[in-house]
Amino acid sequence: MKRPIVLVSSYPPRRCGIATFCEEAREFIARANPKREILVVSHTDGRGEGVIPVIDPSRPDWWKQTARVINELKPYAVHIQHEYGLYEHVGDYGIGDANEGFLDLLDAIEFPTVVEPHTVHGRLRDSEASFLRRLFRSAELVLLKCAYQKWRLDWSFPGRGWPTPRNVMVVPHGARPDRFWSPAEIPALKQELGLDKVPGFSQHVVGMIGWIQSNKRWDVLLDLWEEVCSEIRNRTGQAWTLLAAGAMRDPNHAGDYHTWKNHVRILEKKGIAHYYEFVPRGDLYYKMMAICDFIVLPSIDETQSGTLARIIALNKPFITTAPMEGLTSQTLESEGGLLFTNRKMLREKVIRLATDENLRAKLAENLHRYLEEVVSWEIVARHYTEAYDVAHEAWESGTPVVLPMEL
């Protein structure tokens, strides 16, 4: 067996999008690297075979033990999933360390590092720019999810008098190529989920599926749904159900969670909506989306989205907010969704998709092509393998990675 690849990340059963991402990515990285063990150094709540739960940011020196464990594994490459909140040590008086511990970890790792930051805004705040500058210096290679994130660096960095980093590779958010249900299989799925027993649950379904967080803004569609549902019925004679399904993962969002859930319950009594509580993870996440004709994702704060990756995996037409970082970028690249900037546009787009079956079919076809050609985990895992090789060669030779500019 060759030297292992070590992933550093949060990991299930933690209720965390990065944890779910890492679990799925690991599966396909292992397939692409059958002669290497794929290990995970996780936070202390991570579990599973090959998972080493040691990261404890409640300790100011958490990075020391983490680096020691990683170095003892003697990895071929270390692939780190980064999100600011995952590695922030909050000390006395609630003051955070601005991810200093994470940067200390990078400097303490003695093997090639590939860092995949999940939040890189197009317009960087000063604190973000300062962190990224040090990140690019410390890591052999940095992976960004979208092309716009890379070419924006050529504005953000020189604008501060810094050279544009060149150790940057664009690798999109992966999507599963092996999750699809034909229209003929949907009735059985509804039965499996118990939705066939829900009074008034329609053949046609609009979905809002995933973690229930304040930034997801479920209320925008909930406020419009009764009117929109009536308009769709007047135009087509069809009954539609709004399926709002998911769970809360952050107690700080409890207020919106309870308000929105109660709103769905009110619509449920009118026979036009249904609330389904479930943890958005694994096959159930995909099955819940599979029964929908299309998905609405009214997020107001994203740079990329695991929810959108599942929408793409299932070839589901979608409507999402714009301009909104990675959501807009992937909508344009895939040509699989519609964009809205205000409530009037959202109303129009929902009615348009619900009343135009041919449009839904065209968008689904575009998403299928985008999945097969661009974002399939099988393709993304090959990009990761290339990144490990590039990082390892740079580390071994002492020559910094210099990749072409995006624009």
pLDDT digits (tens, 9 = 90+) for 186-223: 999 999 999 999 999 999 999 999 999 999 999 999 99
User: Quick one: average pLDDT of 331-335?
Assistant: 97
Q: Is the pLDDT of residue 290 over 80?
A: yes
Residue 89 within a domain: yes
Mean pLDDT across 30-57: 98
What's the CA gap between 142 and 130, in Å, rounded? 15
What is d(CA 88, CA 77) in angstroms, rounded to the nearest whole number?
23
152 vs 263: CA distance, rounded Å: 40
Mean pLDDT to the nearest integer, 124-132: 96
339 assigned to some structural domain: yes
Q: Is 315 left (phi over 0), alpha (psi -120 to 50) or beta?
A: left
Residue 289 has pLDDT above 90, yes or no: yes
Helix (H), strand (E) at residue 273: strand 273-277
Count of CB atoms situated within 10 Å of the CB of 69 = 16
pLDDT of residue 43 exceeding 90? yes
**Phi and psi at residue 226, in whole multiples of 5°?**
-60, -45
Q: Is residue 389 part of a domain?
A: yes
Angle 29-78-99 (CA atoms, 0-180°, nearest 5)? 120
The reply to whether 96 and 117 lie within a common domain is yes
404 in a structural domain: no
Specify the DSSP element, H or E, that contains 46: none
Question: What tens digit of pLDDT does each residue of 94-120 get?
Answer: 899 999 999 999 999 999 999 999 999
Whether 330 and 269 map to the same domain: the answer is: yes
Mean local confidence (pLDDT), 323-346? 96
Which residues fall within 8 angstroms of residue 387, CB to CB, at 6 or more apart? 77, 79, 114, 141, 143, 169, 171
pLDDT above 80: residue 303: no
Q: Are residues 368 and 241 in the same domain?
A: yes
Is-contact 83 11, C-beta < 8 A? no
Does 262 share its domain with 356?
yes
pLDDT at 38 over 80: yes
Domain with 213 in it: what CATH number? Answer: 3.40.50.2000
Asked if the model's pLDDT at residue 253 lies above 90, the reply is: yes
Give the model's pLDDT for residue 94.
86
Residue 147 has pLDDT above 90, yes or no: yes
Q: Is residue 403 part of a domain?
A: no
Same domain, 80 and 205: no
- Between residues 61 and 301, which one has the greater pLDDT? 61
Per-residue pLDDT at 92: 84
Mean pLDDT of the chain: 96
Given this model, what pLDDT does residue 380 score?
98
Whether 134 and 248 share a structural domain: no
> What is the domain count for the chain?
2
Domain with 213, as residue range(s), is: 183-375
Share of the chain above pLDDT 70, in %: 100
Task: Tell me the per-residue pLDDT of 360-398, one tens digit each, with 9 for 90 and over.
Answer: 999 999 999 999 999 999 999 999 999 999 999 999 999
Report the half-sphere exposure of 64 (CA within 13 A, side-chain side): 4
Q: Which two tokens stand for residue 265?
A: 């319950």
User: Model-level pTM?
Assistant: 0.95
Burial class (CB in 10 A: 0-12, 13-18, 19+), 98: middle
Is there a domain that residue 33 lies in? Answer: yes
Give a yes or no: residue 402 inside a domain: no
Between CA 95 and CA 241 the distance in angstroms is 46
